[in-house]
Structure 1
Amino acid sequence: MALLRPFLLLAVALLASFRPSAAEIRVTEVRSDGRTIIPFDEFGFTHNGVLELNVSGITLSEDSANVDQLGFFLSTRDAWIHVVQQLQDHEITCPLESSLVKNVYSLDQLKNPNPNPSGLSIPRSSSFGTVFSQHDPGQYTLVFANCVRGLRISMTVRSAMYNRDARTGRPAYLSTGAAALPLIYFLLFLAYAALAAVWVAVLLRKRLAAFRIHYFMLAVVILKALNLLCEAEDKSYIERTGSAHGWDVLFYIFSFLKGISLFTLIVLIGTGWSFLKPYLQDRDKKVLMVVIPLQVVANIAQVAIDESSPYARDWVNWKKVFLLVDVVCCCAVLFPIVWSIKNLREAARTDGKAAVNLMKLTLFRQYYVVVICYIYFTRVVVYALVTITSYRYFWTSVVAGELATLAFYIFTGYKFKPEVHNPYFVIDDEEEEAAAEALKLDDEFEL
């Protein structure tokens, strides 16, 4: 039991770290795995849930192993916590014995009724297929239990979890909490398409005052819109067929371009490129040289996480890499804004244009605060929503994150829009004196 405990605790951690996924049809290769608990996929079932499980090429490291303690089961997070408690209290010796889990298939059903002289408990390279109907709604994880100490197993697992439509009977391969995502992503695509159209109209009307960065901002909005369109199609195909049919590739491409362009835009605005100066300093270039490769790594990690189940040996490592890189990128993009604020504070005292620099300073301070709020909301608050809301309302965390992103785009465009008569340079003497007084009070401000 002492040997089982580390694996059980690891399984609890894995189950707790799950986020509701699309759970498309997935094929997983298990090779000589000796883990006590092997989690595969998670899915939110309705009253008409179905699990299709096909396992082939089952081979055991010990020919005479007790296969009664090998099998697949479904469990919710809450039920699994109680199962672990039952194991620790020695009420049961294997999760398959608990009444809190739903046993899908036990390998003792593969026993050879007429064992051959070699003493094999099941035929070598056995296979089976089963269809399990799930009528109790909930968020369930498909898990394989191996309660035979020292036994290693190899097999190919094909799992398909879906909910049948009550009216048509057709399968819907999206988890119940993600069923609304195709429509949500498409509506968001329309919103960004409209935002891009508005920005094009602004650039055409004020093209004499437009800088290169304004056109770069347009490119970022277009990439975001295409990213949402591909994600809507990706989720739509998965819902109908269980497979993305190539839309996931387009989604990853545009997600990669959108991620790099967005962080690059924040760095360029933070350095004041085009607004304060037509060039980048060496330290600004170094930030870009750090952020862009990190975004490449983050996107690779995201693909590895999405395309593999928690069974994959490197799944947890890739998840950690993605979180670490994301945090580093978020911190890196703040430095250029801090540098610009510092430079504006110094310039406001030396070049005789206190009011001009004070207004620019106020703008960059506002942008700094908004960037921090955007990062905090999309990285912390959204994750909190995923963990505290019911699996049926997983889509609410997606909507919250996307609306925060849309608000950030609108704020950036509004504050840094092209102006023919730049208000920063139309300041009279009274405003200049007021700005000088404000700069005296500004010394108390600390980031």
Structure 2
Amino acid sequence: MRSGLVLALLLLALGSAVEARHTLAKIRRDDRSLILVAQPLGFGEGGRLNITVSNFELWRPGNASGTKTGPFHKIGFFITTPAAEGQLELDLAEHKCPLDSKDITITLFTFDALDPESGAVTREFRLADMLLDYTGGEFSLFFANCEQDSAIDFNIEVSLYNVRGDRIDYLPVGEDMLPFIYFTMFVLFTTLGVVWTGMVIKGGGDSHKIHYLMIVLITFKSLTVLSQAFMFHTISIYGDAEGWNIAFYIFTACRSLLFFVVVILLATGWSYMKPFISDKEKKLLMVVIPLQAIANVAIIYLDEFTPAAESWFTWRDILHLVDIVCCCLVLFPIVWSIKQLRDASETDGKVVRTLVKLTLFRQFYIMVVCYIYFTRIIVYLLESTLPYPYIWLAAAASELATLAFYIASGISFRPMPAGANPYFQLTEEEAIELTKADEDP
């Protein structure tokens, strides 16, 4: 209940809503000179933007109320490429207005176009009409307020889409492959789930509680990627997730909870070598699991909000930091298990049995570290550096890494008779060293 309340409060605090590529934002008494309205988006040859602004007011120091009368030629919207965004910051530092930087920006319209009576304006823009030799590109949408010592109020609705033939596609170039990617992953995870379930059933008495919990985890992972596939497919056609995002949030929360529960339980040997969880491990579970679930769902939900909200970047950084910290905390049970096994190998007479368990957990530790590093660091770098038509490769890499981690964990901890799992076998060199150690007085 407490975790759900925290998540609800967090989501309410985020502000302006985005439905797919339809951005709905309310800006209130905002004195920022530059506001990112829409993050870099890949447009094809038929790329278009539709912008509606209403309820505009300009606030100046000493004025008790806002004004709707111009001139407002220093306030408006423009687009630019991601490569030029760094220059915008330099121009602002030199008190240059981005609306005047014709070399790096394309001004869409200024607020002089607003109807003084209604304070509203609607404009549609075709990128092919504004750019010479245009065949596609990646652009960000910005709002600029170059009026000194002023703040602004307005409501904005933005639609970003591509026209392909006689069809409107609301997915940007680079993300139009995502429905296929996620449905393919659904097939692969479902196949993995069927194979794993068969192994658990066949294992009979050698199957432990953790093996059945892993079946549930794979099931929720399959449902997660299936809901993603339908969500992006629906967005592509209608511009809105039509409820599939809700299913995605639910399955993601369940999958996040189960994933870290399974990793921690495997790392502590629960149900596999010992039928209990220590108090220290219980406390870690109580802290890491709720935080990880909240962070995962909130990060996804945050992506559906416009960065025009003043707190958007702050929440993004906080949530990603929480996610990384939780991933690092998951490593502690593995370290504890390795330390306990190392100490046991030095004190008891069952050196061989203890050493093979130690080898198991060392390799599992390396697997978890590699998985976290790849999905949190490498995938982020791919998203940041890949050309926009190939951004789908980052999502594919993340899902394939998850599939590989599931398969490797399943092979390592599969239900088999004691001593039959090759993962527990010592190398010849280790066996010789242990034999010598036993023969020494």
Say which is worse superposed, 144-153 or 226-235, in terms of deviation: 144-153
- What does residue 113 of structure 2 align with? 109
1:79 match:
84
Moved more, 209-218 or 309-318: 309-318
What are the Cα deviations for residues 129-171 of structure 1, in whole angstroms up to 9, with x where unaligned?
1110012322211111111012222111110101111xx3211
Count of residues in Structure 1 that have an aligned counterpart in Structure 2: 404
In structure 1, what is the Cα distance between the partners aligned to 2:381 and 2:141?
Answer: 24
* Deviation, structure 1 residue 341: 1.1
Task: State how far apart, in whole Å, the 2-side matches of 1:298 and 1:149 are.
Answer: 38
- In structure 1, what is the Cα distance between the partners aligned to 2:437 and 2:330? 26
Select the residue among 376, 398, 402 that pairs with 1:401. Answer: 398
Q: Compute the displacement of 1:437 (Å).
A: 5.4
Partners of 1:301 and 1:318 within 8 A in 2: no
| CA pair 438-132 structure 1, distance change in 2 beyond 3 A | farther
Contact 1:68 1:106 in 2 (8 A): yes
* 1:57–1:154 Cα contact (<8 Å) kept: yes
User: Does the CA-based 8 Å contact 1:356-1:424 persist in structure 2?
Assistant: no
Correspondence 1:201-220 to 2 at 5 A: 201-220=198-217
- 1-side partners of 2:225 and 2:157: how far apart? 29
Partner residue in 2 for 1:221: 218
User: Is residue 134 of structure 2 the alignment partner of residue 129 of structure 1?
Assistant: no
Structure 2 residue aligned with 1:97: 100
Aligned to 2:159: 160
Residues 12-91 of structure 1 mapped to structure 2, 5 A cutoff: 24-42=21-39, 43-61=41-59, 62-63=66-67, 64-86=69-91
* Contact 1:359–1:424 under 8 Å retained in 2: no
- Counterpart Cα distance in 2 of 1:228 and 1:404: 14
Distance 2:19 2:361 in 1: 40
Cα pair 1:298 1:322 within 8 Å, conserved = yes
Rounded Cα–Cα distance in structure 2 between residues aligned with 1:375 and 1:312: 30
The code of the aligned residue for 2:109 comes to: Y
**SS of equivalent residue, structure 1 residue 310:** coil
> How many angstroms apart in 2 are the aligned matches of 1:299 and 1:349?
41
Paired with 1:432 and 1:68, the residues of 2 have a C-alpha distance of 78
Give how far 1:204 is off: 1.4
Aligned partners of 1:285, 1:414: CA distance in 2, in Å? 26
Q: CA deviation at 1:364?
A: 0.8
* Partners of 1:254 and 1:358 in 2: CA distance: 38
**Greater shift after overlay, 136-145 or 292-301?**
292-301
> How many percent identity over aligned positions?
39
Residue number in structure 1 paired with 2:236: 239
Are 2:354 and 1:357 equivalent residues in the alignment? yes
Question: 2:131 aligns to what?
Answer: none
TM-score by length of 1: 0.85
For residues 111-140 of structure 1, the C-alpha deviation after alignment (integer angstroms, 9 at most, x for no partner) is xxxxxxxxxxx6254111111001232221
SS of structure 2 residue aligned to 1:347: helix
CA distance in 1, matches of 2:389, 2:411: 36
Counterpart Cα distance in 1 of 2:118 and 2:292: 43
Tell me how far apart the structure 2 counterparts of residues 85 and 274 of structure 1 sit (CA, whole Å).
58
Deviation at 1:84, TM superposition (A): 4.2
After superposition, the Cα gap between the structure-2 partners of 1:295 and 1:209, relative to the gap in structure 1 and judged at 3 Å, is same
Deviation at 1:268, TM superposition (A): 0.2
Q: Deviations over 1:345-369 (max 9, x none)?
A: 2222333222111111111110001
Equivalent position SS for 1:373: helix
Provide Cα deviations, 1:226-281, integer angstroms capped at 9, x if missing partner. Answer: 00000111111111111000100110111111111101111000001012201011
Consecutive unaligned residues in structure 2, runs of 5 or more: 1-17, 60-65, 129-133
Q: Distance in 2 between matches of 1:163 and 1:399?
A: 23
Which is further off, 123-132 or 395-404? Answer: 123-132
Q: Distance in 1 between matches of 2:290 and 2:219?
A: 22
Secondary structure of the residue that 1:132 maps to in structure 2? strand
Residue in 2 aligned with 1:8?
A: none
CA drift at 1:174: 0.9
| Counterpart pick for 1:436 among 431, 434, 439 | 434
* Alpha-carbon distance in structure 2 between the residues aligned to 1:280 and 1:340: 12
Change (3 A) 1:31 1:86: closer
Distance 1:73 1:434, change over 3 A: same
